Structure 1
Amino acid sequence: MISIDNLGVEFSGSTLFSDVSFAINPTDKIALMGKNGAGKSTMMKIIAGVEKASKGKVTAPKDTVIAYLPQHLLTEDDCTVFEETAKAFQHIFDMKEEMEDLNKQLETRTDYESPEYMKIIERVSDLGEKYYALEEINYDAEVEKALKGLGFKQEDMHRQTNEFSGGWRMRIELAKILLQKPDLILLDEPTNHIDIESVIWLEDFLVNKANAVMVISHDRAFIDNITNRTIEVTMGRIYDYKAKYSHYLELRKERREQQMKAYEEQQKFIAETKAFIERFKGTYSKTNQVSSRERMLEKLDIIEVDEVDNSALKLKFPPAPRSGDYPVTVKELSKSYDEHVVFKDANMSISRGEKVAFVGRNGEGKSTMLKAILGEIEVDGGECALGHNAKVGYFAQNQASLLDPNLTIFETVDEVAEGDIRTQIKNILGQFMFSGEDIDKKVGVLSGGERTRLAMVKLLLEPVNLLILDEPTNHLDLRSKDVLKDALKAFDGTLILVSHDRDFLQGLSNKVFEFKEQRVIEHFETIDDFLERNRIKSIAALDLK
């Protein structure tokens, strides 16, 4: 059991949270929830040992292994996939190296009676006890097995890590965690930038093979499928629910209703007491009663009602101008990069008003197809054309990171706004939760979610009839994703959507194009039907034997 005792964090005199205590049991699967800025990531980093608390402590049994997957990957670019994954055993290699070095010192030293010599002997004994207690493992074979289980091919093992996309780097980190067999896995937004099949595999691993898990995520389906406990960070304290996320929402609503009732009753009592004091102050016969009630008010613990994040994204796409019958047509399209074939002889026709989803593993060609449709890359063969009067709005996977960090929020929108809409910039920004002094903030200081919202503002500045969105929900919180989903459902144009978020995808598309093994396969079914049909097959294909 890992114990978190009286944890507190202060930044520049302000308290992020204080006196936080809870225990993590060996089989707990915990969702760490709370609005942005509540301190979730900070708390996770403290438990991981990456940051230190202002007060309090984290204690765990000796030799407890805690594995931490940060929101932003720290994978280095100076080694191969195999070498990076083998770092999971670095502590064992370091132990062996230190033991060999100390034994060499003992062979050459002659100060047998000195305290330094005795310290070396004690250290060698301690290391030897730990090292030789480890079961004999073929480390190379274990690394290879983990990587293959996560979808890497034999030829990938010795490629440099910088040749892989963010999703594949995530798998390298997951392989390292798997090989460590940790007592606790800490995951901060693990589903950003990985494909649906990887998310399904990760769910299966966390539920069936992992010990304790704590996760921060805005992926509703993911956290609901894996957790059995929810810890909410709010107003500098925590609430601990022995319930998965969806049940926690119901319990939190009940708790707040009870708080409101108790708060209102207390406020009524305070008002009546103050009225009594005011009425009888100076009345000799009531002196003792007045004093008693004054002391009662002084000692009263004021009930606090949990804060509710009332900021809400207001999103509505402008009416779509009428396009031709087929905004997108692809015929016998092929694309390769050197010897690597992305897809070949791909065909698709997307009708006006249709909402389609592109699905498939990272690296199978989804984003490449989008770039081909937009004319951003040259293809090797075939045809790819936009239809008559197709007006495209495109949200790239890295759209938020493309914003100029030196511009303010207002300047970012002002530089692309034209005509009468320029007079409405402040109102538009207000609908996207940027108001007051916020609009003068530099883009460089914004969070991932804020940058994503700002990139969405730019997308809405002129009417379009073909929306192409590549992973638009990365960094958006659950409420913002719901608002975006509702806006896309109401959008009367054509939609092409790439997303790994199953909860977000459900109900949004009536046709699926699957990118797999250099092919583009058309499925005349909803994304819900497609995912259900492929779920069991995907888990079996990705499972580690």
Structure 2
Amino acid sequence: MSQINVKNLTFAYEGTYENIFENVNFQIDTDWKLGFTGRNGRGKTTFLNLLLGKHVYSGRIDTSVNFEYFPYDVRDERVMTMTLLHEVCPTADDWEFMKELSLLEVDLAVLYRAFETLSKGEQTKVLIAAMFLKQNAFMLIDEPTNHLDAAGRLKLGAYLKRKRGYILVSHDRYFLDRCIDHLLSINKTNIDIQKGNFSSWWRNKALQDQYERASNERLKGEIVRLTTAAARTTGWSNAVEQTKYGTRNSGLRPDRGFIGHKSAKMMKRAKSIEARRQNDIESKAKLLKNIETNEPLKLIDVKADIHQFIRIAEVSVAYDDREIFSNISFEVNRGDRIAIIGKNGSGKSSLLKLMKGDKVPHQGLVTMHSQLIISYVSQHTEWLCGSLANYAETIGVAEHLLNAMLNKLGIESKQFEKSLETFSAGQKKKVLIAGSLCQRAHLYIWDEPLNFIDVISRMQIEALLLEEKPTIVFVEHDSAFCETIATKTIAL
């Protein structure tokens, strides 16, 4: 066992004035199964890139291991998968690749197909398997679940539980709980490492937040008392100082030396109390440094008199004579929260597009209420560009409402002036979700809305949907979210 020692790490991107990391110090054992969490934009991927030596930084990162990053950059996806795996890990034999893929329950026939013909989930699994065969490698696994369905996440979680020596970035709570033994979190002002899984870390964080809030309330009362005392003492000191000169026409000659000494003594006491007050204010700031605001989200939906929004009757979808699904029947009624589940490639996104009125080759009956207003969130964010103001105008929402929603989701106001191209993947997804929540709609159709979204924001969205109870149809592979939100499930 060796260690990764991070000492006085400081880093800021060129052209920016704020450090992402400042004098950060911690140690990681290289046999840990380390989960990595934090709100979007806090620097998780940046930290992985620092480990990989992609940026110039101040401080030191000392270790004897080689870092390997997933997703792996495949230069030519047309090559046979076995050929690609030998490129990833030249020292491994064919039987070793087969053994690893068997653990992941991947059909070994994929080894003799072009890599581009594999599903996204299959590509994820074969590359991770090959990378774990590298000698003296410490894996940096960056959000591997974004292309995996629920079943795929279970298998990958079981596989990673067998392994050790990695940092895993993921926002799927159940997935983290399955396979990690330590958790590293980027908080508002520091980096914290705890032994355990995500659930144990979250419980500890809740207890710490509760303690800090209680301490803060006590401190605020003490500050009020000290402030009042300081003001009173300063007033006494000033009043005593004035008596040095007596009153006009009094004929009295006060002892100015005695009075000055008494005044100075009282002033010194006043300054001492003021210093205590400032120290307590600073202590309060430290106590509250890592409490997330978690402001409740609000929804601007349209209350409809209609009951049935959409009716799907004996619907089948096929592309180029390849049937995707067949004979699907269900209704979307007011107040439903419907999860569409199924393996990758089973037609979930096609069904959502059909429901929102897109042209999808199908047979059967799709009936939509004539007055139905739909708000749609795509699973893809690559097309986002330009300014937030232009995006708000494009989707027909007020810019200040969109900004306020994003601020509640943890995106700082200074980010609003930047181009959408510079946003992280999680921040882009928040733009789509915030825009949808700001739209006036009867029905919300969301396609994998939580990809790249941090855990705290996921919980905010859950709380909103449970409180406001909008009508929503969604595809999502986060099991915790589906179990919490869905009132109905459609399995393809």
Match of 1:413 among 387, 392, 398: 392
- Counterparts of 1:374 and 1:191 in 2: how far apart (Å)? 26
Using the aligned pairs only, state the percent identity.
19
Structure 1 runs not aligned, ≥5 long: 93-136, 516-545
Letter in 2 for 1:328: R
Deviations 1:405-429 (A, max 9, x none): 12x1111111332xxxx6x442343
Which stretch has the larger CA shift, 385-394 or 156-165?
A: 156-165
- Conserved in 1, the CA contact under 8 Å of 2:356 and 2:445? no
Q: Which residue of 1 aligns with 2:249?
A: none
1:358 matched to 2:337? The reply is no
- Conserved in 1, the CA contact under 8 Å of 2:324 and 2:345? no
- Counterparts of 2:166 and 2:73 in 1: how far apart (Å)? 20
Over 3 Å counting, the alpha-carbon distance change for 1:235 and 1:473 in structure 2 is closer
- Counterparts of 1:392 and 1:159 in 2: how far apart (Å)? 41
Over 3 Å counting, the alpha-carbon distance change for 1:368 and 1:164 in structure 2 is farther
Deviations 1:67-104 (A, max 9, x none): 3325xx533334333333223323x3xxxxxxxxxxxx
Deviations 1:373-419 (A, max 9, x none): 4453443x631413333443322211x3333x12x1111111332xx
1:171 matched to 2:145? The reply is no
- Conserved in 2, the CA contact under 8 Å of 1:352 and 1:493? no
Letter in 1 for 2:158: D
- Conserved in 1, the CA contact under 8 Å of 2:39 and 2:455? no
The offset of 1:44, in angstroms, is 2.8
- Counterparts of 1:66 and 1:496 in 2: how far apart (Å)? 41
- Conserved in 1, the CA contact under 8 Å of 2:299 and 2:438? no
Q: Which residue of 1 aligns with 2:367?
A: 386
Deviations 1:178-216 (A, max 9, x none): 333766332222222321111111211222x10133222
Q: Which residue of 1 aligns with 2:97?
A: 143
Kindly report which structure 2 residues correspond to 1:429-468, keeping only aligned pairs within 5 A, or say none.
429-433=403-407, 439-460=416-437, 462-468=439-445
Deviations 1:463-519 (A, max 9, x none): 43333211011122223222322333356564322111111111322333333xxxx
- Counterparts of 1:378 and 1:36 in 2: how far apart (Å)? 34
Kindly report which structure 2 residues correspond to 1:115-134, keeping only aligned pairs within 5 A, or say none.
none
Letter in 2 for 1:358: I
Q: Which residue of 1 aligns with 2:248?
A: none
Q: Secondary structure at the match of 2:333?
A: coil
- Counterparts of 2:119 and 2:489 in 1: how far apart (Å)? 23
The offset of 1:276, in angstroms, is 12
Q: Which residue of 2 aligns with 1:47?
A: 51
Q: Which residue of 1 aligns with 2:490?
A: 513
- Conserved in 1, the CA contact under 8 Å of 2:4 and 2:30? no
TM-score for the superposition, normalised by structure 1: 0.69
Q: Which residue of 2 aligns with 1:89?
A: 89
- Conserved in 1, the CA contact under 8 Å of 2:34 and 2:183? yes
- Conserved in 2, the CA contact under 8 Å of 1:319 and 1:491? no
Structure 2 runs not aligned, ≥5 long: 242-259
The offset of 1:269, in angstroms, is 11
Count of paired positions: 450
The offset of 1:331, in angstroms, is 1.2
- Conserved in 1, the CA contact under 8 Å of 2:183 and 2:198? yes
Which stretch has the larger CA shift, 9-18 or 444-453?
A: 9-18
Q: Which residue of 2 aligns with 1:250?
A: 203
- Counterparts of 1:318 and 1:235 in 2: how far apart (Å)? 32
Letter in 1 for 2:460: V
- Conserved in 2, the CA contact under 8 Å of 1:76 and 1:161? no
How well do the aligned residues superpose, as a CA RMSD in angstroms?
4.0
Q: Which residue of 2 aligns with 1:74?
A: 73
- Counterparts of 2:394 and 2:229 in 1: how far apart (Å)? 58
Letter in 1 for 2:201: Y
Q: Secondary structure at the match of 2:132?
A: helix
The offset of 1:164, in angstroms, is 4.7
Over 3 Å counting, the alpha-carbon distance change for 1:416 and 1:42 in structure 2 is closer
Q: Which residue of 2 aligns with 1:30?
A: 34
Q: Which residue of 1 aligns with 2:245?
A: none
- Counterparts of 1:267 and 1:227 in 2: how far apart (Å)? 43
1:426 matched to 2:426? The reply is no
Over 3 Å counting, the alpha-carbon distance change for 1:357 and 1:36 in structure 2 is closer
Letter in 2 for 1:221: Y
- Counterparts of 2:435 and 2:224 in 1: how far apart (Å)? 48
- Conserved in 2, the CA contact under 8 Å of 1:166 and 1:193? yes
Letter in 1 for 2:25: S
The offset of 1:252, in angstroms, is 3.0
Match of 1:309 among 286, 292, 311: 292
Q: Secondary structure at the match of 1:83?
A: helix
- Counterparts of 1:461 and 1:38 in 2: how far apart (Å)? 25
- Counterparts of 2:355 and 2:210 in 1: how far apart (Å)? 51
Deviations 1:107-141 (A, max 9, x none): xxxxxxxxxxxxxxxxxxxxxxxxxxxxxx6x223
Deviations 1:333-378 (A, max 9, x none): 141346xx34353322224133322222222222233334445344
Match of 1:343 among 320, 324, 336: 324
The offset of 1:174, in angstroms, is 1.7
- Counterparts of 1:177 and 1:276 in 2: how far apart (Å)? 69
Which stretch has the larger CA shift, 494-503 or 328-337?
A: 328-337
- Conserved in 1, the CA contact under 8 Å of 2:389 and 2:399? yes
- Counterparts of 1:58 and 1:276 in 2: how far apart (Å)? 56
- Counterparts of 1:37 and 1:240 in 2: how far apart (Å)? 19
Q: Secondary structure at the match of 1:497?
A: strand
1:501 matched to 2:478? The reply is yes
Q: Which residue of 1 aligns with 2:111?
A: 157
- Conserved in 1, the CA contact under 8 Å of 2:81 and 2:112? yes
The offset of 1:277, in angstroms, is 11
Letter in 2 for 1:84: L
The offset of 1:328, in angstroms, is 2.8
Q: Secondary structure at the match of 1:402?
A: coil
Q: Which residue of 1 aligns with 2:310?
A: 327
Q: Which residue of 1 aligns with 2:184?
A: 231
Letter in 1 for 2:178: N
Over 3 Å counting, the alpha-carbon distance change for 1:388 and 1:178 in structure 2 is same
Match of 1:17 among 8, 14, 21: 21
Over 3 Å counting, the alpha-carbon distance change for 1:5 and 1:326 in structure 2 is closer
Q: Secondary structure at the match of 1:74?
A: coil
Over 3 Å counting, the alpha-carbon distance change for 1:236 and 1:56 in structure 2 is farther
The offset of 1:48, in angstroms, is 4.2
1:184 matched to 2:138? The reply is yes
Deviations 1:285-325 (A, max 9, x none): 998x969x98xx79x89642324332646231413424464
